[in-house]
Amino acid sequence: MRSNSQPQQSFRMPSIILVLSLLALGALIACLVQGWDYYALASSQRPFHAGYSDLRPSGRMGLVWGVTSAALVVFNLSYLLRRRLIGWHWLGSLRTWLGLHMMTGLIAAVAAILHSTLTVSSPLAALAFWCLLLTAVTGLSGIIIYLRLSLSLEGHETRGMEPSPSLKSMLQTWRFFHRWLAILLLAAVVLHIVVGIRFGNLWILGGQP
């Protein structure tokens, strides 16, 4: 029996977003590989490395990675706002925003890894870091669910049927957990930045007590 509801459009990543995002990810991974001789050192040995002043979290490049990651997190979460502004078509399609949301999340995670130098040495940094990684992991699982839903939509549209209710339920459950992880991530990042600017090199930020 054919459903009276309008067929839903399957999700496909806009090509330009995919290409640019993969280039950015590749560049960040190349930076990680290039600095691996520093990142692989024990914390006690890093101050003697030639790149220590640049690559440490508070160094020149470390701050670049941190600011990049924080900015991408804020932009990434603006997708939640865009979803509520359905009528604001001049902002771009939801399809484009979803693509940006997916890819900026992955790029932010890699930038955060570079900023942390693969060492989480404070409670506050650990909270922000693990929130970001968990959000990225749930984001990847969301991509898989969206792809499955897209394939289900394409298959069922030819038969005039609705996709599996269990798949839709899975998507709703995922959205709930991913949304609240993202909100916790934003709070952790803001707190990390505010405390860093206000108090500087404290133990809670990984500095000396």
pLDDT digits (tens, 9 = 90+) for 50-101: 999 999 988 899 989 999 999 999 998 888 888 888 777 777 787 788 888 8
In whole angstroms, what is the distance from residue 190 CA to residue 188 CA?
6
- Residue pair 185/131 in contact (Cβ under 8 Å)? The answer is yes
pLDDT recorded at residue 199? 72
In whole angstroms, what is the distance from residue 73 CA to residue 81 CA?
13
For the stretch 172-201, pLDDT in tens is 888 888 888 988 988 988 888 888 777 765
For the stretch 122-172, pLDDT in tens is 788 888 888 888 888 888 888 787 777 766 655 554 444 455 677 778 878
In whole angstroms, what is the distance from residue 160 CA to residue 111 CA?
44
Average pLDDT, the chain: 79
pTM across the whole model: 0.76
pLDDT recorded at residue 209? 36
Q: How confident is the model at residue 12 (pLDDT cuts 50, 70, 90)?
A: low
Which of 22-26, 37-41, 70-74, 86-90 shows the lowest per-residue confidence on average (mean pLDDT)?
A: 86-90
- Residue pair 150/10 in contact (Cβ under 8 Å)? The answer is yes
In this predicted model, which residue has the larger pLDDT, 198 or 107?
Answer: 107
On the 0-12 / 13-18 / 19+ scale of CB atoms within 10 A, 169 is exposed
pLDDT recorded at residue 16? 77
| H helix runs in the chain, sequence order | 15-34, 36-39, 52-55, 60-84, 94-116, 123-157, 165-199
In this predicted model, which residue has the larger pLDDT, 204 or 121?
Answer: 121
**Once rounded to an integer, what is the mean pLDDT over residues 12-31?**
84
